[in-house]
Amino acid sequence: MKLKNILIGFIACLFLSLCVAFSVFPFVKKSSIPKLPLLGQVQHFILKDSEGREFNSDQLNGKVWIASFFFTTCSGICPLISKNMAALSRTFEQVEDITLVSITVNPDQDSPKALALYAKKFGDKKNWYFLTGAREDITEVVVVSFKLGDIQEPVFHTAFLPLVDSNGFIRGYYDGTKQEEIDRLLKDAAHLTHR
């Protein structure tokens, strides 16, 4: 009888421990995912895509998106950043909630036609937009909204790729020339789609 009571007590303790463990595990798992900061909000903009059509930033509402700022004749960091953006595009190709947006910072040279030719080098993906527009509009997006570049510099591209959540808030800046930063961007973007 005493052994039976000890066995029943042991089984009850084991059952209670498992119940506590399984009720706490989802909370611990969820809280171990780092919270991404709110670094500002992207202001509304209208530019032109590589087909010459109007691109309204409202098209990005409800989507997580990654931005890059480049120009087609750049021989410095732009080819590497565009290669990494292409890899991100391939990774997220089947994820409807993630979009990539590359905005030229040299609109005098980068017409919609020039952007279309540039896009073809990287597979011309449906989830990746190449945009141009008036210099003032691009400056507003890059310098004022994303707080990148310098308004005094005629071509103000940057290695940083901003990650924007589905509500238009900037959640991080990632060095587009470093693989470990691209890997972190990939994880953070995926995390934002599963919130």
Give the domain CATH number at 137: 3.40.30.10
Residue 139 belongs to what domain range? 46-193
| Secondary structure (H, E, C), 126-186 | CCEEEEECCHHHHHHHHHHHCCCCCCCCCCCCCCEEEEECCCCEEEEEEECCCHHHHHHHH
Residue whose pair of structure tokens reads 């399984």 in the numeric block: 22
User: What distance in Å separates the CA atoms of residue 75 and residue 8, rounded to the nearest whole number?
Assistant: 74
Residue 122 and residue 52 share a domain: yes
**Residue 12 falls inside a structural domain:** yes
Residues of the chain with pLDDT under 70: 1-34, 124, 150-156, 195
**100 and 168 fall within a common domain:** yes
Pair 12, 83 in one domain? no
SS3 65: strand
Residues 62 and 129 in one domain: yes
CA 174 to chain centre: 9
Claim to verify: residue 159 and residue 120 sit in the same structural domain: yes
104 and 143 both lie in a single domain: yes
56 within domain boundaries: yes
Same domain, 123 and 180: yes
10 with 79, same domain: the answer is no
Q: What is the pTM of this model?
A: 0.80
- Domain count across the chain: 2
Q: Give 54-85 pLDDT, tens digit per residue.
A: 999 999 999 999 999 999 999 889 999 999 99
Question: Considering the domain boundaries, does residue 38 fall inside one?
Answer: no
Same domain for 103 and 27, yes or no, is: no
Q: Which two tokens mark 190?
A: 């995926």
Domain-located, residue 40:
no
Predicted local distance difference test score (pLDDT) of residue 6: 56
Looking at residue 135, its pLDDT comes to: 92
